[in-house]
């Protein structure tokens, strides 16, 4: 699975958009980009995933560049409760369209939302 690079930490003002970048320059065609977050002392929480198109759900938006070498997670209106470590993960699915889901967690980005 491709490796990812994320900034160590970021700050964001409450109510503003938080844009978290991720570099995955070695991503291959059958690898998806997943985002999880981990609030202090809790288990990781799924946020969003995508292959090549931009995606949006009730939590966030995911923007993937055309060459798929990088992506940005956008929290449109950050709140104090969004303070967490955000993990960008590249996950391969085999030819049969299945995956063991063996997520490989890097260091992630510590997002701090301040009043």
Residues within the interface to another protein (CB under 8 A): 32, 41-46, 49, 51, 87, 93, 96-108
Name the minimum Å distance from CB 36 to another protein.
8
The residue among 42 and 66 lying less far from another protein, judged by its C-beta, is 42
Determine the Cα–Cα distance for residues 72 and 52; give it in Å rounded to an integer. 12
Looking at beta carbons only, is 40 or 115 nearer to another protein? 40
What's the burial of 102, exposed, middle or buried (CB within 10 Å: 0-12/13-18/19+)? Answer: exposed
DSSP-H helix ranges across 22-110:
none
Which CB sits closer to another protein, 14 or 59?
Answer: 59
Cα–Cα distance measured from residue 58 to residue 68, given in angstroms and rounded to the nearest whole number: 23
Least gap, CB of 98 to another protein (angstroms): 4
- The CA R_g of the chain, rounded to the nearest whole Å, is 14
Provide, rounded to whole angstroms, the least separation between the CB of residue 86 and another protein.
Answer: 11
């Amino acid at each position: 699975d491709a490796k990812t690079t994320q900034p160590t930490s970021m700050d964001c003002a409450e109510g503003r958009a938080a844009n978290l970048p991720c570099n995955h320059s070695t991503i291959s065609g059958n690898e998806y980009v997943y985002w999880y977050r981990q609030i202090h002392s809790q288990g990781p929480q799924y946020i969003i995933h995508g292959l090549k198109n931009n995606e949006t759900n009730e939590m966030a938006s995911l923007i993937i560049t055309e060459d798929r070498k990088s992506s940005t997670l956008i929290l449109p209106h950050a709140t104090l409760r969004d303070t967490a470590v955000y993990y960008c993960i590249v996950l391969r699915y085999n030819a049969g369209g299945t995956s063991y889901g063996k997520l490989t967690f890097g260091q992630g980005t510590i997002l701090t939302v301040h009043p």
